[in-house]
Amino acid sequence: MRAMSTSLPQLPSITLHDLQGFITASGLPKFRAKQIIQWRNKGVLNPDNMGNIPKNIRELVNDKLCCQPISLTDKQCSEDGTRKYLFTLKSGKSIETVLIPEQERGTVCLSSQVGCVLDCPFCHTGTQKFEANLTAGEIIAQVLAVKEDLRQNPMQEGLHNHVTHLVYMGMGEPMANEAGVHQSLAMLMSEEGLHLSRRRITVSTSGLTPQIKHLGEEYPVNLAVSLHSAINAERDILVPINIKYPLEVLRDCLNAYPLAHQRHITLEYLLLDDINDRDEDIQALLNFINPERERINLIRFNPYPNSPYSGTPTERMNSFAKALISKGIRATVRRSRGQDIMAACGQLKSSKAIIS
């Protein structure tokens, strides 16, 4: 009987060396492994669609590997080109991935967990209980599935049609799934994998400082931190991991994080009406930030049904940004994308749950 596919090595994350092992152990030529990896890196995971691979090798790959650890269940396209995908894992659980196309780049926002181990009260994913860490194969498969979708359904004119950047900013706390995230980074950055530069990958975390340190040592990609407040008492509520790793600990950790040339750490700041958008919040932020190494990304709150918060009005948002900029801080207001398809993380999954 065939073993459970989830326990098989996964094609999206397998190394060339290991694939060569499977192929040569069956007395088949080693060079086929390289051909399969080339298909894989293009986004083709179904061996039956690998044109130059003979049938006996396709069957072997199908038998020995879990080729498609995720399958597309739903896709929604926004008027602005943003695409939101709902994937189902072999376990039956579902995750979301978002493609954010711009003129010069295509960014994929990846999920790293089903649900989230943390419980930030403003976050829609936080309302869904933690179910599982994703494997490296399930993380990489999200990138490959988007590549395949772009090949089959090219982006509208004026928007980039390739995956150029990755952000680990979807469902889950990436730093609470170190094994899956590190292994996926190894493959995504390797020459035999997608060969993406560290400058094109961003890991976003709520501030698990020991894991941020490991990331800097092993895979020093761009770092984004969900700050949301620079006042401990306030951040303890908004980002509860702050109780364990308060702002002083986070400060030391960020100062030590290795940055690529001319790169900055991004401090994400979701503006919530009358919660963290007051004058004292601006002052605390000015006291916290290290302007040489960090910049602030102000985010408009993407409301979802029954959310306990509302977003800061535009006028206040602009004055908040101006107050920071006038003190020499790099601050930008992130444009909200895909609002017509509820593109904030966790929202497609929940809307499907409401419908079904």
The site for ligand SF4 (CB under 6 A) is made up of 116, 118-120, 123, 125-126, 171-173, 206, 226
Judge whether 345 counts as a catalytic residue: yes
Which CB, 102 or 119, lies closer to ligand SF4?
Answer: 119
Q: Which of 96, 138, 234, 268 is catalytic?
A: 96
Tokens of 329: 């801080």
What's the min distance (Å) between Cβ of 245 and ligand SF4?
Answer: 13
Which CB, 13 or 112, lies closer to ligand SF4?
Answer: 112
What's the min distance (Å) between Cβ of 96 and ligand SF4?
Answer: 11
What's the min distance (Å) between Cβ of 130 and ligand SF4?
Answer: 9
Which CB, 119 or 273, lies closer to ligand SF4?
Answer: 119
Q: Looking at this protein, which amino acid is placed at residue 60?
A: L
**CA angle (131 as vertex; 128, 137 as ends), nearest 5:** 120
Tokens of 6: 């989830």
Which CB, 23 or 224, lies closer to ligand SF4?
Answer: 224
What's the min distance (Å) between Cβ of 197 and ligand SF4?
Answer: 25
What's the min distance (Å) between Cβ of 179 and ligand SF4?
Answer: 18
Judge whether 96 counts as a catalytic residue: yes
Which CB, 239 or 282, lies closer to ligand SF4?
Answer: 239
**Do residues 102 and 160 make contact, with C-beta atoms less than 8 angstroms apart?**
yes
Q: Which of 109, 116, 120, 345 is catalytic?
A: 345
> Among positive and negative, which fits the CA dihedral 129, 135, 139, 141?
negative
**Do residues 310 and 281 make contact, with C-beta atoms less than 8 angstroms apart?**
no
- Residue 165 — φ and ψ, nearest 5°? -135, 150
DSSP H/E element including 333? strand 331-334
CB burial of residue 280 (10 Å; 0-12, 13-18, 19+):
exposed
Q: Length of the chain in residues, anyone?
A: 356
Instruction: Give me the active site residues, please.
Output: 96, 345
